[in-house]
């Protein structure tokens, strides 16, 4: 039996996600027969906050996700997060989404959040192509935030971390994702950036974390600098989440058949890794094309299982 039925909608009608303020969204895939190891898993195409509000509280053991970064990419999707006019609007939108994530986590649940930084635009409304990475060109850019100067590093990851901490999350640690094969940059007045942050948040003071499930060199407790190579997926947009970054997060904070959430699923890496590890999953993705790509990747994983 096929694991998924394509476009199984909540209300049985054939629709597509509506405007950003619409309640319309659909399950792009739903899992195999009741009793299977991934029963209840789904990919949902639609707005994250809207979809999360439909899900019961206390469902997920962990959330592993990477939201769109601010002022870095235009995915040309109405209602997208990442191109808000101000950094404060971007942060507020994410705080609202992650408040719903917290509600749907179990009391001992965790959130692993990867987010990258960006530089001010200098009030330019566009960004020219980088000769070493044509994909960095943008036709629209938010204005430079108040109080910052042209060429300033904005500090987006820590601004978001502190905003989530103020909203009630427990901020447990920051992790440096070191990219040995980072993309080159054309800059000549600063070092090339080769790292991003991952933050571990928890819903409660005490939470599930199996430190024996994943150890560092010589059996030591895992350290806070992770060397993980980027791994492009040829059919995906370039900002693909590496499986080797997702796997330790899921290993440390969940058990087989637990539910794993990714409210910004993109090309589906979190769901693919979760399924391969026999964890159930729910992924939410605003872009229908990315949701379909995630479905295709999951179908390939299940065939090989």
In this predicted model, what pLDDT tens digit does every residue of 59-116 receive, in sequence order?
999 999 999 998 777 777 777 888 888 999 999 999 999 999 999 999 999 999 999 9
Pairwise CA distance, residues 137 & 130, whole Å: 7
Domain with 300 in it: 27-304
In this predicted model, what pLDDT tens digit does every residue of 157-183 receive, in sequence order?
999 999 999 999 999 999 999 999 988
SS3 state of residue 243: helix
SS3 state of residue 38: coil
Decide if 90 is inside a domain: yes
Decide if 276 is inside a domain: yes
pLDDT of res. 25: 43
Instruction: Name the DSSP class of 261.
Output: E
Helix or strand run (H / E) with residue 295: helix 288-304
* Site of tokens 């979809």: 51
Decide if 12 is inside a domain: no
Q: How many other C-beta atoms lie within 10 A of the C-beta of residue 266? A: 27
Q: Which residue has the higher pLDDT, 7 or 96?
A: 96
Decide if 4 is inside a domain: no
Percent of the chain scoring above 90 in pLDDT: 54
pLDDT of res. 206: 98
What are the tokens at 157?
């990851």
In this predicted model, what pLDDT tens digit does every residue of 124-164 receive, in sequence order?
554 455 554 554 544 566 778 888 998 899 999 999 999 99
Question: Domain holding 108: CATH number?
Answer: 3.40.50.150
In this predicted model, what pLDDT tens digit does every residue of 181-223 receive, in sequence order?
988 888 889 999 999 999 999 999 999 999 999 999 999 999 9
Decide if 141 is inside a domain: yes
pLDDT of res. 70: 86
Q: How many domains does the chain have?
A: 1
In this predicted model, what pLDDT tens digit does every residue of 242-255 receive, in sequence order?
999 999 999 999 99
Q: What is the pTM of this model?
A: 0.84
Decide if 110 is inside a domain: yes
């Amino acid at each position: 039996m096929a694991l998924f039925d394509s476009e199984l909608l909540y209300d049985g009608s054939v629709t597509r996600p509506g405007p950003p303020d619409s309640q319309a969204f659909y399950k792009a895939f739903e899992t195999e027969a009741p009793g299977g190891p991934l029963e209840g898993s789904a990919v949902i195409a639609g707005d994250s906050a809207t979809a999360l509000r439909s899900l019961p509280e206390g469902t997920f053991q962990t959330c592993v996700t990477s939201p769109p970064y601010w002022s870095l990419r235009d995915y040309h999707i109405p209602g997208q997060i990442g191109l808000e006019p101000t950094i404060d609007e971007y942060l507020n939108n994410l705080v609202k989404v992650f408040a719903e994530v917290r509600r749907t986590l179990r009391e001992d649940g965790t959130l692993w959040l990867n987010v990258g930084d960006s530089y001010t635009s200098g009030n330019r409304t566009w960004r020219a192509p980088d000769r070493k990475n044509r994909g960095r060109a943008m036709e629209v850019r938010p204005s430079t935030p108040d109080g910052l100067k042209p060429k300033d590093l904005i500090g987006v990851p820590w601004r978001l971390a502190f905003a989530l901490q103020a909203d009630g999350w427990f901020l447990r640690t920051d992790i440096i994702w070191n990219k040995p094969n980072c993309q080159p940059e054309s800059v000549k007045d600063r070092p090339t950036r080769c790292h991003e942050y991952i933050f571990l948040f928890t819903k409660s003071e005490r939470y599930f974390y199996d430190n024996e499930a994943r150890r560092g060199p010589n059996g030591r407790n895992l350290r806070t600098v992770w060397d993980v190579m980027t791994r492009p997926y040829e059919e995906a947009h370039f900002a693909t989440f590496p499986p080797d970054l997702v796997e330790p997060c899921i290993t440390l904070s969940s058990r087989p058949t637990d539910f794993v959430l990714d409210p910004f699923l993109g090309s589906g890496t979190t769901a693919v890794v979760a399924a391969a590890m026999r964890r159930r999953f729910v992924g939410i993705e605003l872009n229908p094309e990315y949701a379909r790509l995630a479905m295709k990747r999951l179908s390939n994983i299940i065939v090989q299982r």
